[in-house]
Amino acid sequence: MTLDLRADPIALTAALVDIPSVSRDEDAVTAAVETALRTQTSGFEVMRHGNVVLARTDRGLPTRVVLAGHLDTVPIADNVPGRFATENGAEVLYGCGSVDMKSGDAVFLHLAATIADPAHDLTLIFYDCEEIAAEFNGLNVIERELPEWLDADLAILGEPSGGWIEAGCQGTLRVRLSTTGVRAHSARAWLGDNAIHRLAPLLNRLSEYRAREVDIDGCRYREGLSAVRVGGGVSGNVVPDAAEVEVNFRFAPDRSVDQAVEHVREVVAGLDLGFEITDSAAGALPGLTAPAARGLVDAVQAHGSAGVRAKYGWTDVSRFAARGIPAVNFGPGDPNLAHKRDEHVPLTQITAVTDMLRAYLTKDSSDVDRLR
């Protein structure tokens, strides 16, 4: 399929949705994006690395902004091709990836082809395999093999955020907490020591846990410590001798992973538990005080219909934050609709995000004034 980058980004979103691109099967959409960038933009160096398309300008401008978005989707659920509809008086586009995140990709592609006098040098990264295990993530591959392509003064990820700037992201930590007991026949339970029952003090602490809230750069992050899986028992007539709880700690980005681990240890201190870290990822500070980020905030707030808030959850912005680069999530669509069979994006949000980003990326400061 040929993509028209100068078309309305609404039409461009629909065209991207109509190219199936489930994770590990992005060849067609990658080829379409690569061809369009090579033939419909000027001043960009364009290259393809596996199923990642990279493009950048080198105009000698004082700042560089990365626009990054993944091209893959979760499995299709009878929702490709896309379709337009009217819901509660609003026009929307249904389709797999319409929210997560082909509408954000469409905005980035359209702006790359239509901004004539940019305020920043631009780097575009359209990558594969974001929706599956991190080892396959195309942005992870670029970070490892072509890290210079990630260098910038600000990175904008086109994750769905309802047209708000969702700054930074939470870190995540998963810990397996285990207990042991003595196995016995359940008819003679007094001869055993029930490992599941020994989890009770831990579960009580988790249910009574009060999450910390912290304000960073005007964004309020709320932490959460939750039991997300319980396992134990071998048979319906056996007192179990082993049990475990998997705990997930979503922590504010002012904590490091090591500090998050130490906090969980403090919460469970004094309990006789095995402690095994099974997964962790650092959060990302919002970095909104950086000059390049401040300009984006001004452009969004001038629009009047959106603002700035904390990002709950983990996203690829953390890869940039770890390199000292301020990074935000900013795109059309309600993240609560991502991956759903009825995934859909309001057309007005595609237009609004395009206008706000154009105001930020152009040299003509009157674009920001026009949005006020």
Catalytic residue list: 72, 130
* Dist. CA 288–CA 171, nearest whole Å: 18
Q: Which residues pair with 262 in a beta bridge?
A: none
Query: CA 119 → CA 65, 124, 328, distances in Å?
Result: 10, 15, 18
C-beta neighbour count of 139 within 10 angstroms: 24
Q: Kindly state the tokens that stand for 157.
A: 């990820």
Q: Kindly state the tokens that stand for 33.
A: 């994006």
* Dist. CA 61–CA 55, nearest whole Å: 16
Spatial contact of 303 and 355, defined as CB atoms under 8 Å apart: yes
* Dist. CA 263–CA 64, nearest whole Å: 37
Full DSSP string of 139-184? HHHHHHH-GGGG--SEEEE----TTSEEESB-EEEEEEEEEE-B-E
Instruction: Name the residue among 288, 207, 300 with its Cα closest to residue 247.
Output: 207
CA 342, 348, 351, 357 torsion: positive or negative?
A: negative
Region at 20 (left for phi over 0; alpha for psi -120 to 50; beta for the rest)? beta
At 340, is the secondary structure helix, strand, or coil?
A: coil
At 132, is the secondary structure helix, strand, or coil?
A: coil
At 18, is the secondary structure helix, strand, or coil?
A: coil
* Dist. CA 204–CA 160, nearest whole Å: 36
* Dist. CA 38–CA 55, nearest whole Å: 9
Residue whose pair of structure tokens reads 């990175």 in the numeric block: 155
Q: Kindly state the tokens that stand for 169.
A: 């992201």
Q: Kindly state the tokens that stand for 364.
A: 């003509």
C-beta neighbour count of 32 within 10 angstroms: 19
